[in-house]
Structure 1
């Protein structure tokens, strides 16, 4: 078994018996996709909600609206079936308190909503999530079982 690491604004896929992990989810959202029949899983570490915010060369893994379709495409190319894929999400914290009610400072909640929309458009059901709050997270998906292990600063470990 290997652990495939996914960096910030990155995405990757793997197959059973491997695991896939990302660290440092604050306002970023970790989206994991899993096909229980092929045992193929994928993860995207989404930093921002919308690729229209991009300046210069587009990193598709950085934005919810481009990372999720790319992740599905990569999984299908590896043998997954999009009709069997389910999603889990973690992250999207509001890491800092702001006195302004400006929407631009609510990056975590905006990331979560953008991921929900992208998954809905792809007809991928979200079967579990651990989003919001104000703590950072590390997540690791087991490609054998589809179980997502979430380590949260000051709150311990949980599985969804």
Structure 2
């Protein structure tokens, strides 16, 4: 992962936009999903660190759009377009959605990682954004880094090394 370029760090339930040679990174992806949407030719990308699948889980009407898959993807796309990205050329890559803890329960609520991945993919499909690569599931934490300069997603997997998609 690069240390020489300007890196924007995205925290849990946050999103951001980078252009050109800037790099965007999020770490601590366990059950959360890191989603990158980008316009390759315009060299603009956005990243969101999705924590939960559904904004119906928001407390007291205080809605952080970046926190939930059903609101984060649309908001990210809107921000990219406002910053010069072209809606019809947007593509996506994603990582995360691990099942970090093993439960004996078959309770659907405990499948947060897989449910996050399903919700993200459903939103990308609904908004007609093609997914060009993903590294999801398993039970390992991940850090991801993306540069709109080369459209590569570097995924550092805890105790497993780095893969690039």
Partner Cα distance (2:9, 2:100) in 1:
23
Query: Residue 69 of structure 2 corresponds to which residue in structure 1?
Result: 64
Query: Residue 13 of structure 2 corresponds to which residue in structure 1?
Result: 9
Divergent runs of 4+, >2 A? none
Structure 1: segments with no counterpart, 5+ residues: none
Partner Cα distance (1:142, 1:79) in 2:
16
Shift of 1:37: 1.1
Structure 2: segments with no counterpart, 5+ residues: none
Partner Cα distance (2:8, 2:141) in 1:
20
TM-score by length of 1: 0.99
1:104 pairs with 106, 109, 112, which one? 109
What RMSD in Å do the two structures reach over aligned CA positions? 0.6
Partner Cα distance (2:127, 2:18) in 1:
20
Query: Residue 41 of structure 2 corresponds to which residue in structure 1?
Result: 37
- What is the DSSP-based 3-state SS (H/G/I as helix, E as strand, rest coil) of the residue aligned with 1:83? helix
Shift of 1:143: 1.4
2:91 pairs with 86, 93, 106, which one? 86
Query: Residue 121 of structure 1 corresponds to which residue in structure 2?
Result: 126
TM-score by length of 2: 0.96
Aligned length: 160
Superimposed CA distance per residue, residues 76-114 of structure 1 (whole angstroms, 9 cap, x where no aligned partner) = 000000111100010000000000011000000000000
Residue 28 of structure 1 pairs with residue 32 of structure 2: yes
Partner Cα distance (2:27, 2:113) in 1:
15
